[in-house]
Amino acid sequence: MARPLLHPIQRMIPWLRRMGPLRSLALALIGSNLLFFGCVEWGQIHGLATKPDQPVPAHEIDREIRVRLLGRTPRNNVQITIMSPFSVTNAATGAVLLPDQPPAEDVYVRPSGESGIQIGPKIIPAVDIFITPTRDASVVVNGQTYRGRLRVQRAASGLVMINHVDMESYLRGVLRGELPRNFQPESFKAQCVAARTYALYQKQFNAADRFFDVYDDEGSQMYMGVRGEDGVADRAVRDTTGEVCEYYDGHQSRLFCTYYSSTCGGLSQPVHNCKPNDPDVPPLSGNVECNDCKDAKFYRWPTVTITRAELTKKLTARYPNLRRLGTITDLTPRSKTSDGRIIKIEVAGSGGRDTLLGEDFRLAIGGRVLKSTNFDIEKTRDGFAFKNGRGFGHGMGLCQYGMDAKAKRGMNYREILQTYYPTALIKKLY
């Protein structure tokens, strides 16, 4: 039989007995050092000294999110109010351009000359500035109040407004823009984690030369600023602070883009059907059955009719290269999901034919006109009828109405997220 392994102190006992009067002091010093270093080493070996599931220290996480306001078109005249004293700095250099300014009410921001920005009567010789108030929730843009600070940039055709705001404050303004007030608290928590992950993913993977992370509309997430804040949203943000969805890629856990839509119509679809350039990760592999959104308003939607002329106008506005086809006279689905969503659709006219992704086609016609890509097409006398429509949105990832039905049945937000994003890990970043 093998001899049992002895603790280091046990092995030293014979030696200590020979030390005489000094042995007690030696034993105390050696024991305390072994206890300290031994515990550290044992903890590291057994995974107790460092816990990868613990939140990363807050100073290591950049929590600021940059939200582009007022759509995608630069504005030439924007009304703002700053409800507390503020300063104006050069965004490129950090130089203070206007220190210690008093509150400003209903002033207009405009381009000035070739390289200036005018705020009320004051002309600032810079093309990229920060307006930083001394008190939070003091920035008002076109009647909408925001937390954080405001960045104003000169563009070729006007000004771009970007709200720089802490992530958790941003989410307080997002949740009520995304969910009805009567949704369950666990639904708000699930939505909060998904929305936080989406925003951080965009922040991490957007082009380096882009000065904002997300839009304030359905192109990203509906951001209402302070107007969207209420007790339900605030509790969801507080109860999930710093939590995100990740997946394990075989080496480490990574963020993924937590897409979500209103009503999946019964089955989610894989990300590559709509976003072929996105990473094809397990949580977005689709084919999650959802029988819980059947009571949603647009689980089924009525027939939509569009004339050939109107359809051609909408398609060519979004895709000018399709003008070569002339008036669109035929629409033919070229591939579908198992439940009927159109993945690719062929459009044809007298000048030829071309193929679009089904989701791109839908958004060109209008995401609220064709509420999903799950429909049948019939030709009419002067256009097309889109019949038997089912679901609302792209159908990737989380289904909001299905989520709420699951919450009513007692599922918690983590279970909901891991249902719609299979294999997802819920981790706390800060």
For the segment 315-336, what is each residue's pLDDT rounded down to a tens digit? 999 999 999 999 999 999 999 9
**Which of the listed residues 135, 165, 195 is the one where a domain comes to its end?**
165
At residue 55, the pLDDT reads: 59
Q: What is the largest CA-CA distance in the chain?
A: 110
At residue 226, the pLDDT reads: 98
- Asked whether residue 408 falls in the same domain as residue 311, the answer is no
Tell me if 247 sits within 8 A of 425, measured CB to CB. yes
Please report which confidence band the pLDDT of residue 9 belongs to, taking 50, 70 and 90 as the band edges: very low
User: Is 54 part of a structural domain of the chain?
Assistant: no
Please report which confidence band the pLDDT of residue 27 belongs to, taking 50, 70 and 90 as the band edges: very low
CA proximity to 334, closest of 379, 395, 273:
273
* Cβ within 8 Å of residue 17, ≥6 positions away: 23
140 versus 44: the higher-pLDDT residue is: 140
- Asked whether residue 182 falls in the same domain as residue 266, the answer is yes
- Asked whether residue 309 falls in the same domain as residue 386, the answer is yes
User: Is 4 part of a structural domain of the chain?
Assistant: no
Count of domains in the chain?
3
For residue 239, pLDDT over 60 is answered with yes
- Asked whether residue 101 falls in the same domain as residue 146, the answer is yes
- What's the whole-number average pLDDT of the chain? 89
Interval 413-428: pLDDT, tens: 999 999 999 999 999 9
For residue 15, pLDDT over 90 is answered with no
At residue 146, the pLDDT reads: 98
CA proximity to 242, closest of 286, 307, 193:
193
- Asked whether residue 326 falls in the same domain as residue 414, the answer is no
At residue 25, the pLDDT reads: 38
CA distances in angstroms from 419 to 53, 267, 412, 426, listed in the order given: 21, 12, 11, 12
Interval 381-397: pLDDT, tens: 999 999 999 999 999 99
- Asked whether residue 306 falls in the same domain as residue 382, the answer is yes
User: What is the extent of the structural domain holding 119?
Assistant: 65-165
- Asked whether residue 126 falls in the same domain as residue 176, the answer is no
Please report which confidence band the pLDDT of residue 207 belongs to, taking 50, 70 and 90 as the band edges: confident
Please report which confidence band the pLDDT of residue 24 belongs to, taking 50, 70 and 90 as the band edges: very low
For residue 117, pLDDT over 50 is answered with yes
- Asked whether residue 363 falls in the same domain as residue 380, the answer is yes
